[in-house]
Amino acid sequence: MKFTDKLWISILPIYHAILKHPFNQELMRGTLPKEKFQFYIKQDALYLTDFSRALAQLAAKSSSQADIVMFLKFSEGAIVAERGLHEFYFQEFQTTLDVDYAPSCFAYTNYLLATASLRSYEEASGALLPCFWIYREVGTYIYNNAAPNNPYQKWIDMYSSDEYGKVVDQAIDFVEALFDKSGIETRMKMAIAFQTSSRLEWLFWDGAYRMEQWKPETA
């Protein structure tokens, strides 16, 4: 069994909890309250900027020209494609990016940036993979079960698309290749980083559903 297959099996309870979460169940049925989706899409826009920065940091660490190009393309693709999705919904809801980081988004983005900056190339790659992979699987699941005339169909279509799927496959193959070159300790750190980011994925959706705020409040 491939290393990445084992990684996915290790986070199956988290993945199933993400699928069963009210946010994704209601999004799939098209009944998710708009204010919750607006909260999510604004936090996702903030997340996207730092996710792109973390990818760019991996590009800077890469010794292979092909890997540098790949990570820079990932970084650019995240900005261009997903920003377009955010802007579509900002226009749809007649709103703007007028918020700061909520707790779960803050925790997740700072974990990714710290890992990309301070940990090994391999560990950082493991930390960045869940965002690609989990979104593809969630998007495909929702696409296959979504209610007709879903107000969130554009979101569903993006993350279930063949184009996005190819990017995810490329990211998975890259992590698999890194595993083949790594020692036992590095492999363990890659797995822990993958699992940590997967937990933070669940927290991100949960925080959006609760429209979480910082506590206690400042004066």
pLDDT of residue 57: 92
The CA distance from 40 to 58, in Å, is 26
Contacts of 27 (CB under 8 A, 6+ apart): 37, 142, 152, 155, 156
pTM over 0.85: yes
pLDDT of residue 24: 98
pLDDT of residue 84: 82
Sign of CA dihedral 77, 81, 84, 85: negative
The CA distance from 196 to 129, in Å, is 11
pLDDT of residue 74: 80
What residues in the chain have per-residue pLDDT under 50?
Answer: none
Contacts of 196 (CB under 8 A, 6+ apart): 111, 127
Q: Which CATH superfamily is domain 3-26+35-210 in?
A: Heme oxygenase-like (1.20.910.10)
Domain-wise residue ranges, the chain: 3-26+35-210
Per-residue model confidence as pLDDT tens digits over 60-94: 888 888 888 888 888 777 777 777 888 899 999 99
